[in-house]
A and B are shown apart, each in its own frame.
Chain A
Amino acid sequence: MKPRVGFFDFTCCEGCQLTILNLEDEFLELLELVEIVEFREIMTGQAAALDIAFVEGSIASPEEAARLQRIRERSRTLVALGACADNAGVNALSHFCPPDELGRSAYGRVVEGIEQRLPRPLECFVQVDARVPGCPIDGQEFLGLLQALLVGRTPELPAYAVCVECKLGEYPCTFEHGTVCLGPVTRAGCNALCLAAGDRCRGCRGLVDNPRSQPYRQILEQHGLTVEDILAEFRIFNLPPEKS
């Protein structure tokens, strides 16, 4: 029997699920290898048990936490899909806004205890077995992870920084234009896509395993930045551990 796979979303933009639907050429082949039993965005119905649950979005309410728990209970493997599920994603920014203002913007009044309802990554609530970082995820990286899971291999993520891929692509360093870039501390795997498009790295794939090690610190020092400066920039897509 083909492995039964489900896709789920919580507080997010559904861009990662869309990236999977955008695999067009590989999508039909995917259907040969797995049985998609749940994918609310494109199908009706629920499944009793799943081999792999891909979960997009962060968890922002007790109801969402309970729904995630139920998905965890009926899934053998649970994968965090994308930055929101992995690191709280762009939702992380709300943790650094005045709580009263958040309540007023969404509910028209001050809301007590809103901090407890701010979006958090999946791993604050359930065990996460694997993750696909990025905002949005990279479709090919998702296929690589799925392949690893299907053959029973432990999925691995690159342990080096986006800077490495940027150098390999021979793109001009954004620091040279006086623009702060998170390439030195962000986990690689996107082929420095934003740098290739003339933009800078905003750190959507999360921290590389050992961001304080050389030579990243040297690059920052050369440009007058401290590790703390650059970690502050990281808040756009990442919730620091002490907040989650």
Chain B
Amino acid sequence: MNIEIKHLARMEGHANLVVDTLNGELKECRLEIVESPRFFEVMLKGRHYSDVAPIAARICGVCSVSHTLASLAATENALGVKVSAQAQGLRRLLSYGENLQSHLLHLYFMAVPDYLGVPSLLPLAKTRRDLVARALRLKKVANDLVRIVGGRPVHPVTPRVGGFSALPAAQDLKELRRRLVAALADLEETVAMFASFAVPEMARDTEYLSLAADQGYPGLGERMVSSDGIDAPVADFADILTEYFKPYANAKFARASRDTLMVGPLARFRNASDKLSPMAKKVAAVLRLDAATTNPYHGNLARLTEVVHFFEEAIHLIDTLLLKGIRAESIWVPPGGGRGAGAVEAPRGTLFHAYTYDADGRISAANCIIPTAQNLGNIEADLRALVPQLLHLPQEEITLQLEMLIRAYDPCISCSTHLVKVEYV
């Protein structure tokens, strides 16, 4: 049997899946990355710190806020810039907005069609208009959150080194809060829908890595932790994460303590489920999501649990910001260089940027490790573990389950700055 899927649909970027079996034995199983490399780390060289985050944002359209925030944190740590509590709060809010819009897009547009047995959500615009309208309503609140704080839903424009170049109006935040509360009914229906889906069974233990949860659920932070005992400053990430090539593969992979590593909603949930908001804890229980789960298909349930958490946290955070009052702040950036790293929890997992600046404030070296590079080895290991268990099924069913497994990671191939083709003539 040979399964070959060119340009896997309903995911970010381009990848092929190749599965080859002979007499019930798995011969070949690989996820081929066919996207052209984009050389961001080289392109950033020589750029002034004020241009770095806007360029880094373009690594990914879906995670442009995360790239902006990781990039700014790396630059600020390199230059020795302190960011105010207000700016930190607004950045957290912005990060909630991006995680929400990405998670909701994934859950409704990429995952739901698998469970409803349709090729896409679009034909349902007529037959299940309630469902499609609800998906768009929820996504719109999330996007408006990013627009109000970041100036634009894709590639934000207000965050800058040291803080923000423009601040949201209190009135806009109040209106946003009202809409976040009003969206809770839609969330309830979403949770009920996902609770009714039959999630495929699978178990494979791996290392789960995320930022530390000292100050609540992992988001922005300076420490990283893992289920295998890693507890280290983000600045040391390059020593902890090993990037490597596989002899046959066309992508750069990354690992930490063992051969495979998982980042993203399920890893965050595993490491910090006790830090979830009260409503999110209830949702996890309704979805029968256990903090000890090793089923990668549970990625979507963790994603939905996080959606509820981010909604609830965003409401509280807006209250805190409004109570203190949004004030204009002066920003001072010291001249001169240095080295620094920054990390954020992007929708797909922990994202790292590290830069070295020269005395003129221009980059002399840049390094980025994106979540999908960390997950790729784990996706392949899951596929290898799963295929032998599915061989008794019809080929279409095998294909669907493998595609669903890959989608449960929500891999973001266009984000991958390191994806490589070995065949190069």
Which residues does A use to contact B, with CB under 8 Å?
9-19, 21-22, 24-25, 27-28, 31, 36, 39-45, 60-61, 63-64, 89-91, 93-94, 97-98, 101-102, 105-108, 111, 117, 119, 135-136, 193-194, 196-199, 202, 236
CA distance A12 to B35 in the complex (A): 9
Contact B64 A39 (CB under 8 A): no
A71 to chain B, nearest CB (A): 12
Query: Which range holds the interface residue count of chain B?
Result: 35 or more
30 contacts between A and B (CB under 8 A): A9-B414, A10-B36, A11-B36, A12-B61, A13-B414, A14-B12, A15-B62, A16-B61, A18-B61, A21-B105, A21-B109, A24-B137, A24-B140, A40-B10, A42-B120, A43-B113, A44-B9, A45-B120, A91-B38, A94-B39, A97-B39, A105-B37, A106-B37, A106-B39, A106-B418, A107-B424, A193-B152, A194-B157, A198-B158, A202-B51
Contact B10 A15 (CB under 8 A): no
Contact A236 B55 (CB under 8 A): yes
Within 8 A of A (CB), among B68-100: none
Within 8 A of A (CB), among B15-41: 34-39, 41
Contacts of A97 in B (CB 8 A): 39, 42-43, 45
Q: Which residue on A lies nearest to B63, using beta carbons? A: A13
Most central of B14, B61, B151, B160 by chain A CB within 10 Å: B61
CA distance A102 to B41 in the complex (A): 9
A68 to chain B, nearest CB (A): 13
Most central of B132, B153, B245 by chain A CB within 10 Å: B153
CA distance A222 to B45 in the complex (A): 30
A179 to chain B, nearest CB (A): 8
A186 to chain B, nearest CB (A): 14
Contact B155 A135 (CB under 8 A): yes
User: How many A-B residue contacts, CB cutoff 8 Å?
Assistant: 170
Contacts of B153 in A (CB 8 A): 18-19, 22
Contact A105 B41 (CB under 8 A): yes
Q: Which residue on A lies nearest to B101, using beta carbons? A: A22
Task: Determine which of B9, B13, B157, B420 lies in contact with A106 in the assembled complex, contact meaning CB atoms within 8 Å.
Answer: B420
B117 to chain A, nearest CB (A): 11
Task: Determine which of B36, B113, B143, B160 lies in contact with A24 in the assembled complex, contact meaning CB atoms within 8 Å.
Answer: B143
Evaluate whether A41 and B415 lie within 8 angstroms (CB atoms) in the complex, with A11-B38, A19-B153 already known.
no
Contact B36 A61 (CB under 8 A): yes
Within 8 A of A (CB), among B90-131: 101, 105, 109-110, 113, 119-122, 125, 129
- Per CB-CB distance, the 5 closest pairs between chain A and chain B, nearest first, are A15-B61, A198-B165, A43-B120, A106-B37, A60-B36
B153 to chain A, nearest CB (A): 5
The reply to whether the CB of B184 lies closer than 8 angstroms to some CB of chain A is no
CA distance A28 to B61 in the complex (A): 22
